[in-house]
């Protein structure tokens, strides 16, 4: 939708990597077979990425992004919830030297009154098939929803009353 030339998805589940490619990712990496994330990203784009986005909250992943995936003046958006007491990722010397920005994101950092209608228009135009990324479950089946999300049956479990 944004016209990005390179979109790299790091995902452990093959089904989700396949879906990412179908939805516009240009490259996918399996973290289980990618021991050096920074080297893998730099092999795709030698100058590093302009933007990185984390949903895992895994400190090792956050630090790997900051240690070599971001390009000069790169922005790292973090939405994943980290363990309590986790320090901010990265080395201050590198952040200053390369002009990196680390940004915590809450509720999409968007105005819902503007953003949701935009998302609906993208969906109607066929540019955002979010229905392929979600699966709804009755609230009473929350345990099943969690298991199936972890199994890769869906990308995002949505509970309904």
Say if residue 108's pLDDT is above 90: no
The predicted model gives 134-140 an average pLDDT of: 97
Do 45 and 97 reside in the same domain of the chain? Answer: yes
Judge whether 61 lies within some domain: yes
More confident call, 32 vs 72: 72
Number of domains in the chain: 2
Domain that holds residue 144: 112-160
Dump pLDDT digits (tens) for 63-96: 999 999 999 999 999 999 999 999 999 999 999 9
Q: What is the pLDDT of residue 152?
A: 86
Q: What is the pLDDT of residue 87?
A: 95
Q: Which residues pair with 53 in a beta bridge?
A: 77
Q: What is the pLDDT of residue 161?
A: 93
The predicted model gives 90-118 an average pLDDT of: 93
Whole-angstrom Cα distance, residue 132 to residue 151?
A: 16
Residue 31: left (phi > 0), alpha (psi -120 to 50), or beta? alpha
Is residue 27 within a helix (H) or strand (E), and if so which, with residue range?
Answer: strand 27-29
Q: What is the pLDDT of residue 122?
A: 96
Do 29 and 99 reside in the same domain of the chain? Answer: yes
Do 24 and 92 reside in the same domain of the chain? Answer: yes
Judge whether 17 lies within some domain: yes
Which two structure tokens, joined as six digits, stand for 24? Answer: 């516009």
Does residue 103 sit in helix, strand or coil?
strand
Say if residue 109's pLDDT is above 90: no
Is residue 115 within a helix (H) or strand (E), and if so which, with residue range?
Answer: helix 112-124
Q: Which of 55, 63, 71, 54 is closest to 90 using CA atoms?
A: 63
pTM score of the predicted model:
0.85
Q: Which of 23, 24, 20, 31 is closest to 6 using CA atoms?
A: 24
Burial label for 71, CB within 10 Å (0-12, 13-18, 19+), is buried
Do 88 and 119 reside in the same domain of the chain? Answer: no
């Amino acid at each position: 939708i944004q016209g990005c030339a390179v979109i790299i998805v790091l995902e452990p589940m093959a089904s989700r990597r396949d879906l990412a490619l179908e939805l516009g990712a240009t490259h996918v990496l399996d973290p289980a077979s990618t021991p050096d994330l920074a080297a893998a990203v730099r092999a795709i784009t030698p100058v590093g990425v302009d933007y990185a986005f984390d949903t895992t909250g895994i400190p090792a992943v956050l630090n790997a992004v900051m240690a070599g995936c971001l390009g000069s003046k790169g922005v790292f958006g973090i939405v994943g919830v980290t363990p309590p007491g986790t320090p901010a990722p990265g080395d201050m010397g590198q952040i200053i030297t390369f002009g990196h920005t680390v940004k915590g994101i809450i509720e999409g950092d968007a105005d819902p009154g503007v953003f949701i209608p935009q998302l609906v228009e993208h969906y109607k135009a066929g540019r955002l098939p979010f229905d392929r990324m979600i699966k709804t479950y009755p609230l009473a089946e929350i345990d099943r929803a969690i298991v199936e999300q972890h199994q890769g049956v869906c990308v995002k479990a949505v509970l309904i009353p």
